Amino acid sequence: MNNLSVDHLTGIKDLSKEDIDLIFKTADSFKEVINRPIKKVPSLRDITIANIFFENSTRTKLSFELAEKRLSADILNFSASGSSVKKGETLIDTVNNILSMKVDMVIMRHPNPGAALFLSQKVNAKIINAGDGTHEHPTQALLDAYSIREKLGVVQGKKVVIVGDILHSRVALSNIYCLQKLGAEVMVCGPTTLIPKDMHLLNVKISHNLREALEWCDVANMLRIQSERQEISYFPSLREYSMQFGLNKEILNSLSKEIVVMHPGPINRGVEITSDVADSKQSIILNQVENGVAIRMAVIYLLAAKIDR
């Protein structure tokens, strides 16, 4: 298969296993490119991409921008702060104005779940979801699974626990879809209040005991508490959360086998993970960031192939 089955990347839910395999195969080639002295290919010289971010971002925004530059695309950067969104302009009007400048593809982060899908149905450009509220963050899940494959050889059959604020996490949902499509077993672990009530419908294991979850897994993906999305308290204090669900060296060293530690970032050091774990040999956090560029190059390249030129 040389083509994606989708015209936009709004979520992992819509991708087939073959789509994910194709993205990984393409990312393998781009990873080789970005490790060369000349890290650039001319593939998208005729393509213009707008990065429109209605929410804060460090990794995703920079990673997409670098991926676009490595592919030789022309780039427009838009952030909602400082834009006419503050004067009441709608999402569709904002994007249609950007598209009238002959833009071919839009990478969007937005606080509303479903915003990327909505846009893909309303405008004439390829859309990539860079995170839509608490819904999906597809390129994060792709780079996470790719990093597991790189570290452990395969994803099929591996046991992955996602620990933390599952309720407010787009990374958790996209990871669950992606890992299951690739044949991994998934567990979520956290306080009862931070695990959605219908989680069992996604065919994942559920634990409220960090040690038990870590003994079960091959890989632990530690998530931060998304305080900015919490209007009420879900646990007594960050200190108590950290005592029950924070990953520290003492727990890690006491496990019966060596596990791989991941985190999508941004890290809240001392809350969900201690510095000695985040910076340890078992952590692949910075490999995830490196792989993010290759994965995003692959997704952009494969969707650009579907543009009528």
Nearer to ligand CP, 57 or 282 (CB): 57
State the Cα–Cα distance between residues 277 and 253, nearest whole angstrom: 10
- By the rule CB under 6 A, 140 interacts with ligand CP: yes
**What does the per-residue mask of binding to ligand CP show for 22-61, with x meaning CB under 6 A?**
-----------------------------------xxxx-
Of 39, 34, 44, the C-alpha closest to 302 is: 44
Residue 97: CB atoms within 10 A of its CB come to: 12
Nearer to ligand CP, 131 or 164 (CB): 131
Supply the minimum distance, in Å, between the C-beta of residue 65 and ligand CP: 11
- By the rule CB under 6 A, 229 interacts with ligand CP: no
Nearer to ligand CP, 48 or 60 (CB): 60
Supply the minimum distance, in Å, between the C-beta of residue 292 and ligand CP: 8
Nearer to ligand CP, 11 or 264 (CB): 264
Residue 211: CB atoms within 10 A of its CB come to: 12
Q: What is the DSSP letter of 223?
A: -
Supply the minimum distance, in Å, between the C-beta of residue 192 and ligand CP: 25
Nearer to ligand CP, 228 or 231 (CB): 228
- In the block, which residue shows the tokens 């509303």? 112
- By the rule CB under 6 A, 265 interacts with ligand CP: yes
In the three-class reduction of DSSP (H, G, I as helix; E, B as strand; rest coil), residue 269 is classed as strand
In the three-class reduction of DSSP (H, G, I as helix; E, B as strand; rest coil), residue 205 is classed as strand
Residue nearest to ligand CP as judged by C-beta position: 60
Nearer to ligand CP, 64 or 216 (CB): 64
Task: Write the single-letter amino acid at 32.
Answer: E
Please give the residues from 58 up to 117 whose contact with ligand CP meets the rule CB under 6 A: 58-60
**Residues 6+ positions from 244 with CB-CB distance below 8 Å:** 191, 210
- Count of chain residues binding ligand CP (CB under 6 A): 10
Please give the residues from 120 up to 139 whose contact with ligand CP meets the rule CB under 6 A: 131, 137
> Can you give 10-23 as a three-state secondary structure string?
CCHHHCCHHHHHHH
Nearer to ligand CP, 60 or 120 (CB): 60
Supply the minimum distance, in Å, between the C-beta of residue 58 and ligand CP: 4
- By the rule CB under 6 A, 227 interacts with ligand CP: no
Extract the tokens encoding 302. 């494969």
- Bridge partners (DSSP) of residue 188 are 162, 206
Helices 17-34 and 138-152, packing angle to 10 deg: 70
Residue from 11, 133, 138, 264 binding ligand CP (CB under 6 A)? 264
**Residues 6+ positions from 291 with CB-CB distance below 8 Å:** 27, 31, 143, 146, 147, 150
Residues that bind ligand CP (CB under 6 A): 57-60, 131, 137, 140, 264-266
